[in-house]
Amino acid sequence: MERTLIHYGIHFILPLLVALFFFKDQWLKAYLIMLAGLFIDLDHLLANPIFDPNRCSINFHPLHSYYAMPLYGILTLFRKTRWIGIGLVIHIIADFADCGLM
């Protein structure tokens, strides 16, 4: 239960805090775009079983790979892609935290 709260807290609360603190004028838009980073979980559909609560997503799923992660960081460097990049980086942080708590 605690692992789940931490994992989903990072997924949903951390982007909200980042949006409110750094993007005050457009916090809602920033928050919703950062939440779109959750769509990288679509790569879970390629796994069998699709959901395994004891599987670490990091470097197991293609969009959670060590090859994809630097691209997410690069997205944060450009104004037009910054919010989605931050959302993807936060998503990976949440998944790393989940793996660490297993």
pTM for the model? 0.93
Full domain range(s) for residue 38: 2-100
Q: What share of the chain is helix, strand, coil (3-state, %, to 5)?
A: 75, 0, 25
- Whole-number pLDDT of residue 14: 97
Average pLDDT, the chain: 94
In this model, does residue 1 exceed pLDDT 80? no
Q: What is the pLDDT of residues 33-56, one digit of tens each?
A: 999 999 999 999 999 998 888 899
Q: How far apart are CA 64 and CA 53, in angstroms?
A: 16
What's the confidence (pLDDT) of residue 54?
A: 87
Number of domains the chain contains: 1
